[in-house]
Chain A
Amino acid sequence: MMVIMAGLLNILADSSGFWMPPRASTVAADVDWLFYFILWISVFFFVLIFVLLVYFAWKYRYREGQPVGDAPSHNTALELTWTFIPTLLVVIIFYYGFKGFMGLAVPPPDPYEIVVMAHMWSFNFGYPNGHIDDQLHIPANTPIQFTLNSADVIHGFYVPAFRVKKDIVPDRYNKIWVQALPVKAGDPQTYDIYCTQYCGQNHSTMRSSVIVHDPDEFRSWLEKADLVNMSPAEHGHKIWETRGCNGCHSLDGTIIRAPSWKDVFGLEQHFQDGTSQIADEDYLHLVITNPNIKPIVGFQPVMPPTAGLLKPRDVDDVIMYIKTLSSKYHPTLPKPTTAAAAAATTKPAK
């Protein structure tokens, strides 16, 4: 029986066991060990109580004519025993839980730092070189400290495979650290990231992925990541996709929670204070960086301000993109006058 249990534990000790996700960080093994320790204690006590209950229910079931057994109604020695033994066990469990937690809570010196920016309803990850990505890439075998901040409400940052989790609280930096287990060169591993603190409508789709690279491959990924050549409008679209705008603003006219970007450029905006304004570049700039100053009729003033999150160049590119979505925007060059110029203008538009 013990051999079978040990064997079972061994199978379970491997990556995707019955209970746990794959083990991808240095702390995962410790966490799992304590989980199984508590599990076996629990199984023991549950089986004990179950067996006693069933046995007593059968042995002392009512039978016609049989009186109730003669038994004392208290026994101090028994009471102290079954108070003392559970107390001892919980102190042990507390101790290991505490000790392990301090390992989770205190990072080694000089970790690599990545900023996790959460907003309704997506994650962005900021690297020391200024690159911002909507997926988390990290080097394996390196302590990494995440600084968690939120633009709006409380979110949660959870990577099941790493066994780490912490809430992301607005106006406050929570920190968490992790060291991913080594990966083979050329074989980066991907794991899920989930938001675990209810944050509104799309809480259940606020997810991302962490990709663990071999450290040299991580370096080359990071170098290449920021060097993307895009037109301002393409960059504006990418910002829409990755920086959270798409959570509330659609591109096709649907109202998710905020005005759609389709045809908004050049449209008259009606504000809750009774005034109105045509949405030109100045208006768009104001409403992107400092959104809730002039709430629009029919919408709640809940957009998080992007001043500080988007660089001035990013804001310009978003405005450019919004313009391309409007039927009122049709930039034209004068018709070509020579054959050579005509050939140049037939190049496919980006």
Chain B
Amino acid sequence: MSVAQPIPAPAKVDNYLTHDRGFMSWAFTLDHKRIGLLYMGGVLTAFLLGGTFAVLIRTFLLTPHAWMFKDKVQAHLFYNNMFSLHGAVMVFMFIIPAVPAVLGNFVLPLMLGAKDVAFPRLNLLSLYCWFGGAIFFSYVLLGGVFHAAFGVQWPGGWGLDTGWTFYTPYSTNYASGTVPATLGAFILGFSSILTGVNFVATIHTLRARGMAWFRMPLFVWALYATSLIQILATPVLAITLLLITAERTLNVGIFDPHIGGDPVLFQHFFWFYSHPAVYIMILPAMGVISELISVHSRKHIFGYNFIALSSVALALLGFIVWGHHMFVSGQSNLANTIFSILTFSVAIPSAVKVFNWLGTLYKGSIRFTTPMLYAMGFILLFTIGGLTGLFLGALMVDIPLHDTYFVIAHFHYVAMGSMLFAFLGGMYHWFPKMFGKMYHERTGQIAAIIIFIGFNITFLPQFVAGTKGAPRRWAEYPEQYQKYHVMSTCGAYMMTTGLLIVAFNWLHGLMRGRPAPDNPWGGNSLEWHCPSPPPHDNFAVPPVADDPYNMGGWEYDKTIGGWVPRSHEISPSETAAAGRTRPVSH
């Protein structure tokens, strides 16, 4: 696409950013768009925190014997706190909220043609839960890392060295920070639950005229399925965390075998939430990809019904496979068998989506914009992540691979290679809408490629380390695995560079980007039918919904560098005369 010629600055129009000013108007906002931006600030800070520790972990692991510390006791303490912090911050504070709370909050009401979500005050409460939980959680966890690294103990900074999975009895009997850390996660969980409740109500009641269920954009279907999981699964984690607290404080035997409890019971409770949680992570991401692939190839999504229903199928099936995290725990052979076969069932809806996205690209008109690059990266990386799940679902092969680096590589491909890529792609895609500015396209494209290559260099060697037996969560490791660790660390540095370029790209776009047109990509879902950035009330007149993937009604206007409604509608007879089934679009 050519860059638009310089245009006169538009007249100052009131939008959601300028509507009200001052700290109070942001701290107590009820506007879903502002809440989305506040979440964005929090979630990106969480990503920075978790990511810093990822880089530290990778640096630490450059040698087999914890080169960063002379005292090995201190080295182990530091490492154990670091990987626990990395996992816990990334899971609870970044991956779970990122797409739903940031992109979902901003885009959902716009996509539905609504003024806001169904319960704006509940939305603000969920934001407060996130910030409250996040600040408390980070404080406790960082305290442990600082104590291990520098010997400084700040009050309440007990730290967490249990891993993000808090397995009992280690977490209840030996680790000091378990109760406060789980309390932080408990508060964060409410942010997730309340967002889910809000989205379900919004999607049921606030759809624009003409938007039947099977006329909704697929991102909405994805958010709906995600919200169901958030509402049903998160309370189980909350209860589990309360049970741990009860056991620690009241000495009730639930998980501690020495007082009559069962440590494996904890694993059932924990994974009953945490497996559906990974679908909370991936479903909205897949929804974003459906939007990106379709809009940036200007083509109607292929297999709409199958993609929509596969989101719901994944949400439901995701609840019945948790036992695959416990194949080596000592649970019965029968349980192992049942969970294995159910686990394979969740592979199918995901495969269906990938093929449908490829079908969308077929005969499209593909632009290699930054969002499209992330979407294409997603398809490749999600394929690898999903296929490596097959190894782990097959009982006999899971036995040697369980708890090794193979698992770490697998989940980073789906959590980072897939979910993060979708998040970044979505951020770029809706950046013009959110801020009324365009980012610099070439920089975005280069960063995307650097991140893609760096990501693969980081995690592909970890598959091999895993099959060769390298266990996970090891601060020191046998010498034969060093070459994989060194490769992995080099990839991590490359990926970090790419991510820093992305941050720079966004900041630069915010400050110096050219003004964005209302519809820079030519999409037809309702968010593109309002100005960039949107006014406070989103739509002056409630819009009527059309097929969101029928983009034939837009044409490109070089003078603004964006798409405008076609001046002349193409009638069905014109389309038929051209020998086509769909109107001509570019």
A and B are partners in one complex rather than unrelated chains: yes
Q: Provide the residues of chain A in CB contact with B403, threshold 8 Å.
A: 156, 158, 165, 196-197
Report the separation of the CA atoms of residues A156 and B407 in the bound assembly, to the nearest whole angstrom: 15
A198 near B170: Cβ-Cβ < 8 Å: yes
Q: Provide the residues of chain A in CB contact with B73, threshold 8 Å.
A: 201, 256
B397 near A31: Cβ-Cβ < 8 Å: yes
Known: A42-B390, A90-B390. A170 touches B263 (CB 8 A): yes
A98 near B76: Cβ-Cβ < 8 Å: no
B77 near A154: Cβ-Cβ < 8 Å: no
- Per-residue CB contact flags for chain B residues 400-412 toward chain A (1 = under 8 Å, else 0) read 1011100000000
B330 near A174: Cβ-Cβ < 8 Å: yes
Q: Provide the residues of chain A in CB contact with B328, threshold 8 Å.
A: 156, 165-167, 196
B459 contacts A by Cβ under 8 Å: no
A153 contacts B by Cβ under 8 Å: yes
A104 near B399: Cβ-Cβ < 8 Å: yes
B352 contacts A by Cβ under 8 Å: yes
B467 near A35: Cβ-Cβ < 8 Å: yes
A195 contacts B by Cβ under 8 Å: yes
- Per-residue CB contact flags for chain A residues 228-239 toward chain B (1 = under 8 Å, else 0) read 000000000000
Q: Provide the residues of chain B in CB contact with A38, threshold 8 Å.
A: 390-391, 394, 397
Please provide the chain B residues from 320 to 371 with a CB less than 8 Å away from any CB of chain A in the complex.
Answer: 328-330, 333, 336-337, 340-341, 344-345, 347-348, 351-352, 354-356, 358-359, 361-368
Q: Provide the residues of chain B in CB contact with A286, threshold 8 Å.
A: none
A53 contacts B by Cβ under 8 Å: yes
A224 contacts B by Cβ under 8 Å: no
B468 near A60: Cβ-Cβ < 8 Å: no
B363 near A69: Cβ-Cβ < 8 Å: yes
Q: Provide the residues of chain A in CB contact with B336, threshold 8 Å.
A: 101
A337 contacts B by Cβ under 8 Å: no
Give which listed residue, A70, A105, A161, A167, contacts B582 with CB less than 8 A.
A70
Report the separation of the CA atoms of residues A283 and B339 in the bound assembly, to the nearest whole angstrom: 51
Please provide the chain B residues from 454 to 488 with a CB less than 8 Å away from any CB of chain A in the complex.
Answer: 464, 467-469, 471-478
A347 contacts B by Cβ under 8 Å: no
B523 to chain A, nearest CB (A): 13
A105 near B329: Cβ-Cβ < 8 Å: no
A67 near B585: Cβ-Cβ < 8 Å: yes
B351 near A82: Cβ-Cβ < 8 Å: yes
B388 near A31: Cβ-Cβ < 8 Å: no
B299 contacts A by Cβ under 8 Å: yes
B379 near A169: Cβ-Cβ < 8 Å: no
Known: A70-B582, A154-B169, A169-B263. A100 touches B396 (CB 8 A): yes
Chain B residue at minimal CB-CB distance from A100: B396
Report the separation of the CA atoms of residues A30 and B475 in the bound assembly, to the nearest whole angstrom: 32
A94 contacts B by Cβ under 8 Å: yes
B161 contacts A by Cβ under 8 Å: yes
Report the separation of the CA atoms of residues A60 and B368 in the bound assembly, to the nearest whole angstrom: 11
A13-21, A110-118, A266-274, A317-325 - the one binding chain B? A13-21
Report the separation of the CA atoms of residues A205 and B175 in the bound assembly, to the nearest whole angstrom: 19
B391 near A35: Cβ-Cβ < 8 Å: yes
Please provide the chain A residues from 73 to 120 with a CB less than 8 Å away from any CB of chain B in the complex.
Answer: 73-75, 78-79, 82-83, 86-87, 90-91, 93-94, 96-105
Report the separation of the CA atoms of residues A201 and B71 in the bound assembly, to the nearest whole angstrom: 13
Q: Provide the residues of chain A in CB contact with B173, threshold 8 Å.
A: 152-153, 302
B225 to chain A, nearest CB (A): 18
B397 near A34: Cβ-Cβ < 8 Å: yes
Give which listed residue, A56, A82, A153, A166, contacts B361 with CB less than 8 A.
A56
Report the separation of the CA atoms of residues A60 and B475 in the bound assembly, to the nearest whole angstrom: 48
Q: Provide the residues of chain A in CB contact with B356, threshold 8 Å.
A: 79
Give which listed residue, B76, B167, B175, B380, contacts A49 with CB less than 8 A.
B380
Q: Provide the residues of chain B in CB contact with A199, threshold 8 Å.
A: 170
B302 contacts A by Cβ under 8 Å: yes
B305 contacts A by Cβ under 8 Å: yes
Give which listed residue, A42, A152, A192, A205, contacts B169 with CB less than 8 A.
A152
Q: Provide the residues of chain B in CB contact with A27, threshold 8 Å.
A: 396
Give which listed residue, A87, A100, A200, contacts B174 with CB less than 8 A.
A200
A71 near B363: Cβ-Cβ < 8 Å: yes
Report the separation of the CA atoms of residues A195 and B170 in the bound assembly, to the nearest whole angstrom: 15
B424 contacts A by Cβ under 8 Å: no
A204 contacts B by Cβ under 8 Å: yes
A333 contacts B by Cβ under 8 Å: no
B376 near A57: Cβ-Cβ < 8 Å: yes
Known: A49-B379, A86-B351. A93 touches B390 (CB 8 A): yes
Q: Provide the residues of chain B in CB contact with A101, threshold 8 Å.
A: 333, 336-337, 340, 395-396, 399
A172 contacts B by Cβ under 8 Å: yes
B536 contacts A by Cβ under 8 Å: no
Report the separation of the CA atoms of residues A86 and B384 in the bound assembly, to the nearest whole angstrom: 15
Known: A20-B468, A170-B257. A34 touches B359 (CB 8 A): no
Please provide the chain B residues from 157 to 174 with a CB less than 8 Å away from any CB of chain A in the complex.
Answer: 161-163, 167, 169-170, 173-174
Report the separation of the CA atoms of residues A52 and B364 in the bound assembly, to the nearest whole angstrom: 13
B504 contacts A by Cβ under 8 Å: no
Q: Provide the residues of chain A in CB contact with B383, threshold 8 Å.
A: 45-46, 49-50
Q: Provide the residues of chain A in CB contact with B396, threshold 8 Å.
A: 27, 30-31, 34, 96-101, 103-104
Q: Provide the residues of chain A in CB contact with B400, threshold 8 Å.
A: 31, 158, 160, 163-165
Give which listed residue, B77, B306, B387, contacts A79 with CB less than 8 A.
B306
B301 contacts A by Cβ under 8 Å: yes
Q: Provide the residues of chain B in CB contact with A103, threshold 8 Å.
A: 396
B267 to chain A, nearest CB (A): 9
Chain A residue at minimal CB-CB distance from B343: A94
A122 to chain B, nearest CB (A): 15
Known: A62-B367, A203-B474. A57 touches B394 (CB 8 A): no
- Per-residue CB contact flags for chain B residues 570-586 toward chain A (1 = under 8 Å, else 0) read 00000000011110111
A341 contacts B by Cβ under 8 Å: no
A61 contacts B by Cβ under 8 Å: yes
A70 near B394: Cβ-Cβ < 8 Å: no
A202 contacts B by Cβ under 8 Å: yes
A60 near B363: Cβ-Cβ < 8 Å: yes
Q: Provide the residues of chain B in CB contact with A61, threshold 8 Å.
A: 365-366, 368
A265 contacts B by Cβ under 8 Å: no
B376 near A53: Cβ-Cβ < 8 Å: yes
Give which listed residue, B298, B333, B472, B581, contacts A105 with CB less than 8 A.
B333
Report the separation of the CA atoms of residues A195 and B464 in the bound assembly, to the nearest whole angstrom: 19
Report the separation of the CA atoms of residues A93 and B73 in the bound assembly, to the nearest whole angstrom: 44
- A21, A34, A56, A256: which has the most chain B beta carbons within 10 Å? A56
Chain B residue at minimal CB-CB distance from A35: B397
A123 contacts B by Cβ under 8 Å: no
- B300, B376, B394, B474: which has the most chain A beta carbons within 10 Å? B394
A76 to chain B, nearest CB (A): 9
Chain B residue at minimal CB-CB distance from A16: B468
B304 to chain A, nearest CB (A): 7
A140 to chain B, nearest CB (A): 20
Report the separation of the CA atoms of residues A87 and B351 in the bound assembly, to the nearest whole angstrom: 10
A339 contacts B by Cβ under 8 Å: no
A92 to chain B, nearest CB (A): 10
B76 near A67: Cβ-Cβ < 8 Å: no
A171 contacts B by Cβ under 8 Å: yes
B70 contacts A by Cβ under 8 Å: no
Give which listed residue, B304, B467, B474, contacts A20 with CB less than 8 A.
B467
Report the separation of the CA atoms of residues A3 and B170 in the bound assembly, to the nearest whole angstrom: 52
A68 near B379: Cβ-Cβ < 8 Å: no
A74 near B76: Cβ-Cβ < 8 Å: no
Q: Apart from A93-B393, A101-B395, list 13 A-B contacts with CB within 8 A.
A: A19-B468, A27-B396, A35-B391, A46-B387, A56-B366, A71-B299, A73-B301, A74-B303, A75-B303, A82-B352, A165-B402, A169-B264, A205-B76
Chain A to chain B contacts (Cβ below 8 Å), 23 pairs: A35-B397, A42-B387, A45-B387, A46-B383, A52-B358, A53-B380, A62-B367, A70-B581, A74-B302, A75-B359, A90-B344, A96-B396, A154-B169, A160-B400, A163-B399, A165-B328, A165-B403, A172-B264, A192-B469, A194-B471, A198-B162, A201-B80, A300-B174
10 nearest interchain CB pairs? A69-B363, A160-B469, A97-B394, A100-B396, A171-B257, A101-B395, A204-B474, A42-B387, A90-B344, A196-B403
